[in-house]
Amino acid sequence: MDRPGRLSRRQVMRRIAAGGVALAIVPPHVLGGPEKTPPSNVLTHGTIGCGGMGVAGHIVANAEGRPPVQLAVCDVHKGRLAAGMAKAARSCTAYTDWRHVIDRRDIDIIHVPTPPHWHALITLAAVQAGKDVFCEKPFTRTIDEGQKLVEAVERHGRIVHVNVHGRSAHNGDWLLRLVELNLLGWPLTVRVDTVGMITAAPNPPVRPAPPDFDYDMWLGPAPWRPFCGVERYNFRAYWDYDSGAMGDFGQHHFDPVQMALGKDGEFPIEVEASAPPQDPFVVGRWHWIRVRYADGTMVLFDGEQPCPGLDRNVIAQGPKGRFYKDQGVLKSDPPGLAERLRAMGRQRKWLTFDEAVRTRNFASGAKPNAAAAHHSCTVVNMGTIAVRVGRTLRFDAGTQRFINDDAANALAQQPMRAPWRM
């Protein structure tokens, strides 16, 4: 489809043939050539969410003399929308309703750096519209959302990557080589980095929503609550929108571990957590979370306390030995294993999102694809559900539901506020 407000290559050539356009005024990028990108090779972007991550990490600045790549930005907050437009500069259109961005047939890629309660709906709509998607973490707020997204991505044949760090960095790289060389034997117990705490005081005071902020649209599928200001600045501390630091950082820390352990296509069968009773609205503090797989592999998440069963300095342990941190330096028992890993260096070439889109390669790369991201996000969601219900939970990988636990399953499959639905 021809792009609004610009002459496509086909239009230019028709006008040249008809004598309606002089050759002297044809922009170089329209026809292509050395160091000039023809429009057919340009991946165009629409970004929904112009907060800090949106402006810094997802909006592309359109360069002078080249075809625009950032065609649309969207936000329900007019100040943030203005910041997004300033970053994109020229040839970009501003929207306050994300559905108008999805409807643009000249956009190839949708970026979703919104609060997490919007991730699933926007990604699903984009996939159904034939777009590829680069989504922020956590991939989804609920297990059910992830299950439906993976099915839609496969059905529509789209590329979806989730902006999780670590697969191509040291925290995924060394563990992957350790597993490949079977240095510690099997099964392994792995401790992920402490993900910290994000919480807030209960019962925040109600106040009027600012006039430049569409609060109802910001809530979207989340339950209706009077505006209290946390929605814009501390939404991660509330269960309706995220799950505290575990939602913010948990997938970052766990996803590369999942990849290295060869668990991209496998769910744990059990999750256990230690935490005080939780408020139904405000995310509370938690001590530790432990997940166990069918083969005996375990992953431990330390919160405010170390998960029992492994010394806090140990980050990987198996029948043959262990890896641990000593004043920030990776060491091993028996000695020499850590040095052996470091000597190997990093030899893996990681597929980028751009390469995946251009080549239609559906595998995970430096970022997890939809299926792998759903698996790592499900572990995060399993952990937060165990924190909320306060008991050990068994998980059925076939149904992706908890076994004989209605309260846990209600959190795995939460209803959306009408008229929003998946």
Which pLDDT belongs to residue 144? 98
Q: Is the pLDDT assigned to residue 12 strictly greater than 60?
A: no
- The H or E element that residue 16 is part of is helix 9-17
Which pLDDT belongs to residue 3? 38
> 143: domain range?
9-162
Which pLDDT belongs to residue 121? 98
Considering only residues 347 and 148, tell me which one the structure prediction assigns the higher pLDDT.
148
Confidence of residue 259 (pLDDT cuts 50, 70, 90): very high
Among the listed residues 340, 294, 302, 334, the one whose alpha carbon sits nearest the alpha carbon of residue 317: 334
Find the mean pLDDT for residues 257-275. 97
Q: How far apart are CA 137 and CA 155, in angstroms?
A: 22
Confidence of residue 105 (pLDDT cuts 50, 70, 90): very high
Considering only residues 193 and 227, tell me which one the structure prediction assigns the higher pLDDT.
227
In the chain, helix, strand, coil percent, each to 5? 35, 15, 45
Q: How far apart are CA 308 and CA 300, in angstroms?
A: 9
The three-class DSSP label of residue 58 is: helix
Omega before 187 cis (within 30°)?
A: yes
Q: Which segments of 84-126 are extended strands (E)?
A: 93-95, 109-112
Find the mean pLDDT for residues 378-389. 98
Whether 259 maps to a domain, the answer reads yes
- The H or E element that residue 270 is part of is strand 270-274
Considering only residues 317 and 329, tell me which one the structure prediction assigns the higher pLDDT.
317
Considering only residues 187 and 21, tell me which one the structure prediction assigns the higher pLDDT.
187
- The structure tokens 């820390």 sit at 253
Asked if 180 and 131 sit in the same domain, the reply is no
Q: Is the pLDDT assigned to residue 250 strictly greater than 90?
A: yes
Dihedral angle over CA of 319, 320, 324, 326, nearest 10: 140
Average pLDDT over the chain reads 88
Looking at the structure of the chain, the number of domains it has is 2
Find the mean pLDDT for residues 251-262. 94
Q: Where residue 49 sits, what CATH number does that domain have?
A: 3.40.50.720
Among the listed residues 301, 263, 296, the one whose alpha carbon sits nearest the alpha carbon of residue 381: 301
Please, what sign has the CA dihedral across residues 81, 137, 149, 225? negative
Dihedral angle over CA of 37, 43, 47, 48, nearest 10: 160
At 272, give phi and psi (nearest 5°): -135, 140
Asked if 87 and 177 sit in the same domain, the reply is no
Whether 2 maps to a domain, the answer reads no
Q: Is the pLDDT assigned to residue 30 strictly greater than 90?
A: no
* Residue that finishes a domain, picked among 162, 179, 205: 162
> What number of other Cβ atoms are within 10 A of residue 205's Cβ?
8
Q: How far apart are CA 415 and CA 247, in angstroms?
A: 19
Q: Is the pLDDT assigned to residue 368 strictly greater than 50?
A: yes
Which pLDDT belongs to residue 40? 59
Among the listed residues 260, 242, 243, the one whose alpha carbon sits nearest the alpha carbon of residue 299: 260
Asked if 151 and 190 sit in the same domain, the reply is no
Confidence of residue 132 (pLDDT cuts 50, 70, 90): very high
Which stretch of 163-167, 275-279, 341-345 has the lowest confidence by average pLDDT? 341-345
Omega before 419 cis (within 30°)?
A: yes
Q: Where are the alpha helices (DSSP H) in 261-369?
A: 337-344, 353-359
- Extract the tokens encoding 10: 């086909």
Which pLDDT belongs to residue 346? 64
Whether 400 maps to a domain, the answer reads yes
Confidence of residue 173 (pLDDT cuts 50, 70, 90): confident
Percent of the chain with pLDDT over 70: 88
Asked if 134 and 235 sit in the same domain, the reply is no
Asked if 135 and 200 sit in the same domain, the reply is no
Which pLDDT belongs to residue 41? 84
Asked if residue 238 lies in contact with residue 226, where contact means CB atoms within 8 angstroms, the answer is no
* Residue that finishes a domain, picked among 97, 131, 162: 162
Q: How far apart are CA 330 and CA 76, in angstroms?
A: 45
DSSP string covering 364-412:
--SS-BHHHHHHHHHHHHHHHHHHHHTS-EEEETTTTEETT-HHHHHHH
- Extract the tokens encoding 140: 């989804």
Q: Is the pLDDT assigned to residue 233 strictly greater than 90?
A: no
Which pLDDT belongs to residue 176? 87
Confidence of residue 232 (pLDDT cuts 50, 70, 90): low
Q: Is the pLDDT assigned to residue 161 strictly greater than 80?
A: yes
Q: Where residue 380 sits, what CATH number does that domain have?
A: 3.30.360.10
Asked if 64 and 83 sit in the same domain, the reply is yes
**Bridge partner list, 151:** none
The three-class DSSP label of residue 30 is: helix
